[in-house]
Amino acid sequence: MAESLRYDLAVVGSGSAAFATAIEARRRDASVVMIEHGTVGGTCVNVGCIPSKALLAAADARHVALDQHFPGIATTAAGVDMAALVDGKDAIVGVLRHEKYEELAGLYGFDIIQGHARFVAGPILEVNGERIRAEHYVIATGSSPWAPPIPGLDETGYLTSTTAMELDRVPSSLVVIGGGFVGLEQGQLFSRLGSAVSLVVRRRIAPVEEPEISRALTAIFSEEGIDIRSEATVAKVVRENGRVVISLDAGASHEELRAEALLVATGRRPNTTDIGLDAVGVTVGSRGEVIVDDELRTANPRIFAAGDVTGHPQFVYVAGKHGGIVADNAIDEAHRRVDYRTLPKVTFTSPAIASVGMTDEEANAQGFACECRVLPLTQVPRAIVNRDTRGVAKIVAERASGRVLGVHLLAEGAGDAILAAVYALEGGLTVEQLATAWTPYLTMAEAIKLTAQSFTREVAALSCCAS
């Protein structure tokens, strides 16, 4: 075994959490090494946020061309060259990976070692026959797509959110198992590229969102031709004559779906196998997630974890926030804590889902006496002039004080508009304050103000630009 390399901080992984940690640590003049066994950049830039949203934007462009609803405008769209779309996606990924990840190691002055890292007692990391010693370590190994133990699934073969974005042609038909954000985004993506898509979900689509949003999105997907099989489970999967046959149990009924391809979008599991966590006293949960306290410290006080590997909300901005917290706590003993009370969530369907704070059900479970309002987008001028009034806005408030507890949107541009609600919850605003705040006219963010006004006024009786 070679002589040990020594650093202030050693980071296992090279995704968003890892880079945020390394950058913040280097700003404090700490020496940093990053170990990566695969492609630098992790999930978001390589196989997650960036490539999926690039393809979603392309699919949306085709959908708009095929479903033009403005009078006096005529558009058409031909078939899809999937290989060309994937090449274009790969080009964007390559540029961003180089500029936002690979180049930054040199800019900030930290080392990246290619190889498989494994903890041994010490704690020490072994990589490529070398030993790495550090004052503190960070596990930032991310997560990978997970498939449930469905009989016949492995033998039949299936797509994941990663492999689906590498196809060289659009499948004529596709069954998607899963109604969370990945299943919804990928299902609508391939539907708009020309696949006949069926979604199979245990309960309802968007199960963690408000039921009004789930119902509205179900109607929208159905209008677009997506077949939704709710409250259904997959009993088995086989391949017959080149097609996938999915046997469903839906209550008392049993039926089969047949398709060219199957996409399993049932969540992700942390990457924690074969990295020697037992040797250094780091504990994991039932899904393989590294158990951390609210300072992101593991059971070993010298080892932290950040990002998807913790089992915390799987958003790239959570991973980035984790990185900054870990660097502060490891280098400066800052004792910063994670606080998700105003964490926004966005699902990039069209229209998009965006929310922050508690749902009605969550607020009641926490003992709040709540009052809610739901506003259809038919009352929102921006949606009217866009000729797309599909969607709703909902505000959950504490009845006694009027304090806003949650804001939930289904609308085009919802991901941008939700930032206003994040600030409202950060500032502890009431619905009255939201209802009287300055709001630019003809923006989707106005839906939040109008929903707040609906607590005390009849929005349909207001003039279009009433304050």
CA dihedral 405, 410, 413, 414 (to 10 degrees): 20
Class of domain 153-266: alpha beta
Q: Where in the chain is the domain with CATH 3.50.50.60?
A: 5-145+269-332, 153-266
pTM reported for the whole predicted model:
0.95
Tell me the backbone φ, ψ of residue 244, rounded to 5 degrees. -90, 130
Query: Do residues 35 and 113 lie in contact, with contact meaning Cβ atoms separated by under 8 Å?
Result: yes
Q: Which of 281, 273, 287 is nearest to 299 (CA)?
A: 281
The pLDDT assigned to 466 comes to: 59
- The total of other beta-carbon atoms located within 10 Å of residue 297's CB is 18
The pLDDT assigned to 161 comes to: 96
Three-class SS state of 79? coil
Return all residues near 56 (Cβ < 8 A) that are at least 6 apart. Answer: 185, 188, 189, 348, 350
Q: What is the distance between the alpha carbons of residues 222 and 353, in angstroms, rounded to a whole number? A: 17
- Beta partners for residue 248, in sequence order: 234, 255
Class of domain 5-145+269-332: alpha beta
3-state secondary structure 243-303: EEEEEEEECCEEEEEEECEEEECCCEEECCCCCCHHHHCCCECCCCCECCCCCCECCCCCE
Alpha helices in 136-210 (DSSP H): 153-156, 181-193
Q: Which CATH architecture fits 344-459?
A: 2-Layer Sandwich (3.30)
Q: How far is CA 219 from the centre of its chain?
A: 22
The pLDDT assigned to 250 comes to: 78
Collect the ranges in the chain with pLDDT lower than 50.
none
The sheet carrying 196-200 orders its strands as 227-229, 196-200, 173-177, 261-264
Q: How far is CA 281 from the centre of its chain?
A: 30
Query: Do residues 177 and 228 lie in contact, with contact meaning Cβ atoms separated by under 8 Å?
Result: no
Q: How far is CA 68 from CA 59, 60, 62, 265, 377, in A?
A: 14, 12, 10, 30, 19
**Tokens standing for 25?**
């640590």
Q: What is the distance between the alpha carbons of residues 84 and 106, in angstroms, rounded to a whole number? A: 33
Query: Do residues 395 and 373 lie in contact, with contact meaning Cβ atoms separated by under 8 Å?
Result: yes
Strands 253-259 and 227-229: unpaired
CA dihedral 123, 128, 129, 132 (to 10 degrees): -30
Q: What is the distance between the alpha carbons of residues 355 and 345, in angstroms, rounded to a whole number? A: 5
Query: Do residues 370 and 363 lie in contact, with contact meaning Cβ atoms separated by under 8 Å?
Result: yes
Q: What is the distance between the alpha carbons of residues 118 and 309, in angstroms, rounded to a whole number? A: 15
Query: DSSP character for 31?
Result: -
Q: Where in the chain is the domain with CATH 3.30.390.30?
A: 344-459
